[in-house]
Amino acid sequence: MKIGSVSLSSPVLLAPMAGITDFPFRKTVKNFGAGLVVSEMVASRTVLEAIKHEKIRQRLHFFEAQREAGPVSVQLVGYDPSIMAEAARFNEQLGVDLLDINMGCPVKKVVNTEAGAALMKDETLAANIIRAVVDAVRIPVTVKMRLGWDQNTQNAASLAKIAENEGAAAVTVHGRTRSQFYEGRADWEAIGDVKKAVSLPVIGNGDVVTETDAQNLLKISGCDAVMVGRGAWGKPWILHHMGKFLAGGTVPPPPTGEELYQVVLAHMALILDYYGAYRGVRIARKHLSWYSKGRTGSAPFRAAVNACDSEGELLKLVEHFKEVEAAD
Ligand SMILES: Cc1cc2nc3c(=O)[nH]c(=O)nc-3n(C[C@H](O)[C@H](O)[C@H](O)COP(=O)(O)O)c2cc1C
């Protein structure tokens, strides 16, 4: 699959998730294999602050390290076409391979500023943002949206057509409306209506957890690729397994015992290296809990994880995975 000039090795992509798809997690997923990993959303104004302030600019040095994990897609969130364009240009100069525009975030703080899913209610502003970003850079630009604002205003097909006309290279559709937040089932048939309306690649998203889910979403929607979010929590290998399954290959069993231990240890080492011990331990807790989900002894393990306060304790806890077998 290709998004503009960028070739993807697999049609299974990791969804952007604020607070979760940081560099350590993206690299862990990419080490197994995934078509693409996308950054957590970055406010376009924050990017511009980074240009102005040397101190913040230094924090963006991690972009070079991100490239180790394969093509880098950065997701921008904002409402002002000229600020979005400037932020896009800055990211292109940093070496980002793709830019994604967030038109799906449902949270009040974002939609109250007319950004995220609020842009689905203002197709003119949405079009102006897409055009401004596309005109500002040479790298491919994608748009991630929901089905619409609410059940009565499902305009994803219309917005996807606008994205196509304004020069976007692909769209991702999460099969829920903004009103649904994360409730109910993602509607894969409705994603199919978007696919039928445009000729650019459409990436389907929502509730893909197993290899069979990935296959079913593609079958039902006719999409070109599938994007996986929560299904990857504690299972960074799942995108690789889905890719194998879709290609008709043999899917290896999920890692257990020593193999699982090595996966978790490498992920924890990346977190500690990236954030330092204090923040790292706190960020690692949720990932460790997800790795243990559904496995024997996960309840007392999670309690110990939440009480863990140092790098040493954390690494000791990781040894737990040497003994655990497959998920129950
Ligand atoms: C904790 C969390 C954070 C998210 N952050 C973002 C984000 O920064 N940008 C975005 O476009 N979508 C974000 N999403 C939405 C996901 O990318 C995805 O569309 C949604 O979770 C549905 O896919 P899933 O059922 O595979 O999780 C987030 C979702 C969750 C659960």
Which segments within 180-301 are labelled E, that is strand?
202-205, 225-228
Q: What is the mean pLDDT of the chain?
A: 93
In which band, very low, low, confident or very high, does the pLDDT at 60 lie, cut at 50, 70 and 90?
low
Q: Hey, which of 17, 77, 101, 283 would you mutate to test ligand 1's pocket, going by the most ligand atoms within 8 Å of its Cβ?
A: 17
Separation of alpha carbons 188 and 218, rounded Å: 9
- Is the pLDDT score of 214 beyond 80? yes
Please give the backbone phi and psi of residue 199, each rounded to the nearest 5 degrees, phi first.
-110, 0
Does the domain at 257-322 match CATH 2.60.40.10? Answer given as no
Q: 136 in ligand 1 pocket by Cβ < 6 Å?
A: no
In CATH, the number for domain 2-246 is 3.20.20.70
Separation of alpha carbons 302 and 293, rounded Å: 9
Amino acid 56: pLDDT: 54
- Is the pLDDT score of 88 beyond 80? yes
Residue 130 near residue 165, CB atoms below 8 Å = no
- For the chain, what are the domain ranges? 2-246, 257-322
Separation of alpha carbons 206 and 181, rounded Å: 11
Q: Hey, which of 44, 74, 174 would you mutate to test ligand 1's pocket, going by the most ligand atoms within 8 Å of its Cβ?
A: 174
Amino acid 192: pLDDT: 98
Q: What angle do CA 39, 198, 143 make, to 5 degrees?
A: 20
Half-sphere exposure of 54 (CA within 13 A, CB side): 0
Which segments within the chain are labelled E, that is strand?
2-3, 6-7, 12-14, 36-43, 72-77, 98-103, 141-148, 170-177, 202-205, 225-228
CA of 203 to the centre of ligand 1 (A): 14
**Cβ neighbours around 213 below 10 Å, total:** 18
Separation of alpha carbons 52 and 32, rounded Å: 37
Separation of alpha carbons 11 and 242, rounded Å: 9
One DSSP character per residue, 43-104 reads: EHHHHHHHHH-HHHHHHTTHHHHHHTTSSEEEEEE-S-HHHHHHHHHHHHHHT-SEEEEEE-
Separation of alpha carbons 222 and 202, rounded Å: 9
Longest Cα–Cα distance in the chain: 56
* Three-state secondary-structure class, residue 284: helix
Our measurement of the distance from residue 72's CA atom to the centroid of its chain's CA atoms, rounded to an integer in Å, reads 11
CA of 57 to the centre of ligand 1 (A): 26
Summarised one tens digit per residue, pLDDT across range 151-194 is 999 999 999 999 999 999 999 999 999 999 999 999 999 999 99
DSSP 153: -
Burial 259-294 (b: 16+ CB within 10 A, else e): ebbebbebbbebbbebbeeeebbebbbbbbbbbbee
Amino acid 49: pLDDT: 79
Question: Which token pair is 111?
Answer: 């939609």
Residue nearest to atom 26 of ligand 1 (CA): 229
Report the catalytic residues: 105
Amino acid 65: pLDDT: 63
Q: 205 in ligand 1 pocket by Cβ < 6 Å?
A: yes
Least confident span in 48-52, 160-164, 279-283: 48-52
Burial 109-118 (b: 16+ CB within 10 A, else e): ebbeeebbbb
Q: Quick one: average pLDDT of 120-140?
A: 98
